[in-house]
Amino acid sequence: MTDTRDFDRETAVTRKPGEPSVYDTELHGSWKVGMGVNGGLLLSVAGRALAAELGAGPDGHPDPFAISAYYLSTSTPGPATVSVETLRRGRTVSTGAASLIQTDEDGVPVERLRAMATFGDLDDQTDDIRTSAKPPQLPPPEECVGTESAPAEFRAQSPLLSRVELRLDPATVGWAVGAPSGKGEIRGWFRLPEGREPDPLLLLLAADILPPVSFDLGIYGWAPTLELTVHVRAKPAPGWLRVVHSTRNFAGGYLEEDAEIWDSADRLVAQSRQLARVRLPE
């Protein structure tokens, strides 16, 4: 059987004829997790429309340096449009905003997310790297826990799990058997099963692909994202990515979730933070 999974095709945007800066896209049901389409996938789609706009031309800025999304309503599989507004075109970086919109069953447009981003050219950055963060130590992927080990019921709710190769450090999956560490950290390997190598757009997906870090605190509820910001700091080398989710401030029914994404060359290629709401069991 041919592997028909294709991240690029399923995040593609096409310019809407006659409407400048408006792009059509189709959200694929296989990227659903729980109620809606995965927030990182939506960020990749918005990022692609922003790249089409800000990256165009010889002086264009093709790579996201910083991108922030505010999630407004639950995205559903099906058609969507992304409208891009260029806010500033500069020499080193350019900034834009993007609005992802779907129509509800009555044909009324509903905004799913609004994003802002500053794009540049990662190849233009200096070679001076003084990262003091240390790469995470994980057992090799073959000794980690794959999504195929997830309970059938959970897999059924999360078709997304079959779209990605995700292998979690056994030291951070105690929550899956009712023994969360309480530390607020989940580590794992991530790549696409179709063999497509990582690039800046894939890092936007990777920033929100691990299970909610609240699971490691023993909170198993849905953790909807209010806001997610990703800083892409370098083009990732080919191969597996390592993603570390952590939180230090679970309070008042909300938590921050930080992600660090490391590539196969031990470079910290992206950092992200989100604010998520967590529902405590009654």
Question: Which residues in this chain contact a second copy in the complex, by CB under 8 A?
Answer: 65-66, 68, 70, 72-73, 87-88, 92-93, 95, 97, 111, 114, 116-118, 122, 125-133, 183-184, 217, 226-227, 229, 231, 233-234, 247-254, 256, 268, 271, 273, 275, 277, 280
CB 14 within 8 A of CB 23: yes
What is the rounded CA–CA span in Å between residue 47 and residue 29?
Answer: 19
What is the rounded CA–CA span in Å between residue 184 and residue 47?
Answer: 29
- Measured from the CB atom, the residue of 127 and 142 that comes closer to a second copy is 127
Amino acid of residue 112: R
- Measured from the CB atom, the residue of 122 and 203 that comes closer to a second copy is 122
Least distance between a second copy and beta carbon 220 (Å): 15
- Measured from the CB atom, the residue of 17 and 252 that comes closer to a second copy is 252
CB 150 within 8 A of CB 161: yes
Least distance between a second copy and beta carbon 83 (Å): 13
- Measured from the CB atom, the residue of 3 and 130 that comes closer to a second copy is 130
Least distance between a second copy and beta carbon 165 (Å): 26
- Measured from the CB atom, the residue of 24 and 111 that comes closer to a second copy is 111
CB 50 within 8 A of CB 68: no
191-213 per-residue burial string, b: 16 or more CB within 10 A, e: under 16: bbeeeeebebbbbbbbbbbbbbb
Short-list 247, 229, 242, CA closest to 269: 242
- Measured from the CB atom, the residue of 191 and 231 that comes closer to a second copy is 231
Least distance between a second copy and beta carbon 85 (Å): 9
What is the rounded CA–CA span in Å between residue 77 and residue 141?
Answer: 31
Least distance between a second copy and beta carbon 114 (Å): 6
- Measured from the CB atom, the residue of 132 and 137 that comes closer to a second copy is 132
Contacts 24+ apart (CB under 8 A), 12-20: 12/48, 13/45, 13/48, 13/49, 13/52, 13/82, 15/52, 16/81
Amino acid of residue 161: L
Least distance between a second copy and beta carbon 266 (Å): 12
CB 61 within 8 A of CB 54: yes
- Measured from the CB atom, the residue of 5 and 114 that comes closer to a second copy is 114
Least distance between a second copy and beta carbon 247 (Å): 8
What is the rounded CA–CA span in Å between residue 99 and residue 259?
Answer: 24
Least distance between a second copy and beta carbon 251 (Å): 4
User: What is the three-class DSSP state of 229?
Assistant: strand
What is the rounded CA–CA span in Å between residue 167 and residue 144?
Answer: 5
